[in-house]
A = this chain, B = another copy of it.
């Protein structure tokens, strides 16, 4: 067997192990009886250990070396290029550091959970200090010649993205958004719309069906936190959740649908290779945000959503539903933030985690820095650490460099949406009747089919003809403030 065949065989195996692990997680969150937790943790740990072993073996290096001089077609060149990148990154982390990171992540999450429940940041300090220190060490191991530790951590989620680029983009946003927030704050508060859960269920099912979700290759279930699992190219599983007096289920279903569609429209030629998945965290988030912000929150699509709620026995005027979906209201909490204030929550986290990794902010000073930034960016007083710097699990789990992708997703979604409309014409007429095929096709062609062949920034340029910029997003959120 040639080196290419060996390599591709191994990559297929790694894809299988990854999708099996995804099924284990899906099952844990959706189906597993509660007492299965212990065995599931052991199963996931074994799968992760085997995956790591098979992804970092010396034999891969030998195949790659042999392929350096081989005449390959374009696809195989990309496969080999990404295989080398992934293999080298994975091997840069010493075994002992990897074990320390895994342990600190588990302990950090436990410590975080207790500290949040007790609103006691002090109890979380040692675990967070440990996670910061280990993440910094990890970044230093991963960093290439001209990279900082934080640059390297960003590469886990968005390869090729640099801290300097984020400072520039987020700096401009931090200047442009607060005045819009001030305008919005002057208006009446965000409306709520109590919708019976049964009506939400009918509307979610009906709306997803219009977008092409069927029983033969999808599942739609309920879980505590909505998420999407791609178990196979034709086995996609989204979850949502239903609250008593909100329409979050509609937004979150469209959000998860965006993640799902991305993975489903990747070129079949990339299946079971290292290229056959979404290219990065921020592009993935752009796909969910596109369907959440630009479709579900579109005034024209409110006609469809209101009709689907009507089918569930709940009558609401499309305009009223739309007003609820786009309401703006600054608050201390990221996960329930509206589209306008959301990026400010992320910018705050970016500033602080960068300062932590670079050693410019001590963990013990985090609560004060958080309160200062919330005032500066959102003009919001933090009621407690539990609702302040203890609200997210990420740092407790050792994830640094992840937060930025949430805001980048918003920016990329807006830029894609403008580029698409420039090409296809305004989408309103189609959306009013639930016609989304041209959107699906455009995204498939410009974004989805490439899989990992293009990294975040080149993909944005390829899809929109322009470098990543904030203006489309500002044009999207401007009207929400008024």
Contacts and interface: CB of A to CB of B under 8 A. Distances in A.
B43 A19 contact: yes
Contacts of A17: 46
A32 B235 contact: yes
Given A39-B231, A231-B39, A216 B20 contact: no
A36 B231 contact: yes
Contact of A16 (B35, B46, B217, B232): B46
Interface residues of A, number: 34
Interface in A12-39: 12-13, 16-17, 19-20, 23-24, 27, 31-36, 38-39
Interface string A31-56: 11111101110110011001000000
A167 interface: no
Q: Which of A17, A23, A50, A215 has the most CB of B within 10 A?
A: A23
A218 interface: yes
Contacts of A24: 20, 23
A32 B20 CA distance: 13
Interface string A365-382: 000000000000000000
A233 interface: yes
Contacts of A27: 23, 27
A16 B166 CA distance: 42
Contacts of A46: 12-13, 16-17, 20
Contacts of A38: 232, 234
A32 B36 CA distance: 20
Given A38-B232, A38-B234, A232-B38, A217 B43 contact: no
A130 interface: no
A168 interface: no
A272 interface: yes
A462 interface: no
A235 B36 contact: yes
A92 interface: no
A36 B219 CA distance: 11
A1 to B, nearest CB: 14
A392 to B, nearest CB: 29
Nearest to A36: B235
Interface string A77-110: 0000000000000000000000000000000000
Contacts of A13: 46, 50
Given A16-B46, A20-B24, A27-B23, A35 B217 contact: yes
Contacts of A23: 23-24, 27, 43
A24 B16 CA distance: 12
A109 B71 CA distance: 41
Interface of A: 12-13, 16-17, 19-20, 23-24, 27, 31-36, 38-40, 42-43, 46-47, 50, 215-219, 231-235, 272
17 contacts: A12-B42, A12-B46, A13-B50, A16-B42, A20-B47, A23-B23, A32-B235, A33-B235, A35-B217, A36-B217, A36-B235, A38-B232, A39-B231, A39-B232, A39-B233, A40-B231, A40-B232
